[in-house]
Structure 1
């Protein structure tokens, strides 16, 4: 089993970057890889509670993020600085995450066999 990390850095309202990251994460989980997902920068906004993307004309795929636990994707990380930048806390997110500072992110990346940045 390989350690695979998907890194998301783009806004959830910018093209389909987050959707592609979510799909990639689910695919790796389905083939029983040790998958982790790191959201950094504007990507952390994809986890914010009470969003209504339909009002922006965007399909609501945010609720699909909640299904990650069904696929045994338990290693979901968010950048500590990004949370602070957007005035978010763990309580304001739709799923449980592991908050990682810069050093912890660097260590996480170094432990992977493959890193996919979308």
Structure 2
């Protein structure tokens, strides 16, 4: 099995970066790769509970993030600093995640064979 990391840095309301990252994560999970997903910067907002993007004319694909567990995608990480910057904590998120500091993120990245930066 190959270690693959999807990195998300962009706001979920900025183009389709998060949707593309979700699709990519599910594709790698379908072909039984060891997939991880790291949210940093404004991308952490995609994990926030109680959002209604349809109110601003966007499709609500945030609900699909909850299905990751069904596809055995269990390695979901968030940047600890980004959570703080956006006033979030693990209790405000749609799914269970592991918060990583900068050093832990660097270590995670070095353990990967492929990195998809979206």
- Compute the TM-score of the two structures, normalised by the length of structure 1: 1.00
Distance between the aligned counterparts of 1:72 and 1:116, measured in 2? 19
Deviation at 1:24, TM superposition (A): 0.1
Give structure 1 stretches of 5+ with no counterpart.
Answer: none
Distance between the aligned counterparts of 1:76 and 1:21, measured in 2? 12
SS at match of 2:54: helix
Deviation at 1:88, TM superposition (A): 0.1
Tell me the number of residue pairs that the alignment of Structure 1 and Structure 2 aligns. 118
RMSD: 0.3
1:25 aligns with 2:40: no
CA offsets 1:66-118 (integer angstroms, 9 cap, x no match): 00000000000000000000000000000000000000000000000000101
Give structure 2 stretches of 5+ with no counterpart.
Answer: none
CA offsets 1:9-62 (integer angstroms, 9 cap, x no match): 000000000000000000000000000000000000000000000001000000
Distance between the aligned counterparts of 1:102 and 1:37, measured in 2? 15
